Amino acid sequence: MGVWSSIRLSDLSSWNDGGGQVEIDGLLQPAGTPSVHLAVVHVNAPVFGPGQPAFWRAQLAAVHQHLAGDPRPLLVAGDFNATWDLQPFQDILHLG
């Protein structure tokens, strides 16, 4: 995973979502405006092998917990391997 931006990035760090995926946090610093916290997420797909849906749900729960504690304003980008109608993704969306 990577982050490319024409806007200055700083304070990049990574964390493990418990499923072996490394997620990225940082700050976007647009000129003349306050910094925006950035979270980049990519969880595994829920369709491969036994136990995968439960594994995917656990990853999304870890992402939810992490994002709930992130400062605002917050921009989240990535691949959740989910559609808008799935409850674990809705839970993340409702964080604001």
- The verdict on residue 40 lying in a domain is yes
The strand order across the sheet containing 9-16 reads 9-16, 22-28, 36-42, 74-79
- The whole-angstrom separation of Cα 93 and Cα 33 is 25
- The verdict on residue 86 lying in a domain is yes
| Per-residue pLDDT, 20 | 74
- The verdict on residue 3 lying in a domain is no
- The verdict on residue 2 lying in a domain is no
Distance of alpha carbon 74 from the chain centroid? 10
Residues facing residue 75 across a β-bridge? 38
- The verdict on residue 37 lying in a domain is yes
| 13-50 tens-digit pLDDT | 999 887 778 899 999 999 999 999 999 999 988 886 77
Q: Strand 22-28 relative to strand 9-16: parallel, antiparallel, unpaired?
A: antiparallel
Q: Which domain holds residue 85?
A: 9-93
| Per-residue pLDDT, 11 | 95
Percentage of the chain exceeding pLDDT 70: 99
| 51-95 tens-digit pLDDT | 788 888 999 999 999 999 999 999 999 999 999 999 999 999 999
Number of domains the chain contains: 1
- The verdict on residue 4 lying in a domain is no
Is-contact 18 41, C-beta < 8 A? Answer: no
- The verdict on residue 1 lying in a domain is no
- The verdict on residue 64 lying in a domain is yes
